[in-house]
Amino acid sequence: MMAAWGMHLDFPPDVAGGALFPYLESMADQSFGLVIGIGGADVIIRGMAGLIKAKGGEIRLKSSVARIESDASGATGV
């Protein structure tokens, strides 16, 4: 399980520190608990969705993208 955890975090054994990081992460999670927001793992997703909606945005799933609108600051709409 440690190896899978490390590779999931982009630390395969052939990367410097790659064999050590999964071990340290596993031991820290065992000692202090896995860092998940209060209310569940999707709490940050719900927070981000709420912010988008509060600012007048709309979230659509399974929709085709016809174009991406942008200005000098970046993407402004899809």
Mean pLDDT to the nearest integer, 43-57: 91
Q: If DSSP codes are grouped into helix, strand and coil, which group holds residue 29?
A: helix
Which H helix or E strand runs over 11? none
Task: Work out the percent of the chain whose per-residue pLDDT is above 70.
Answer: 83
Taking the model in full, what pTM does it have? Answer: 0.47
Cβ 21 vs Cβ 29: under 8 Å: no
pLDDT for the residue numbered 6:
63
Q: How confident is the model at residue 23 (pLDDT cuts 50, 70, 90)?
A: confident
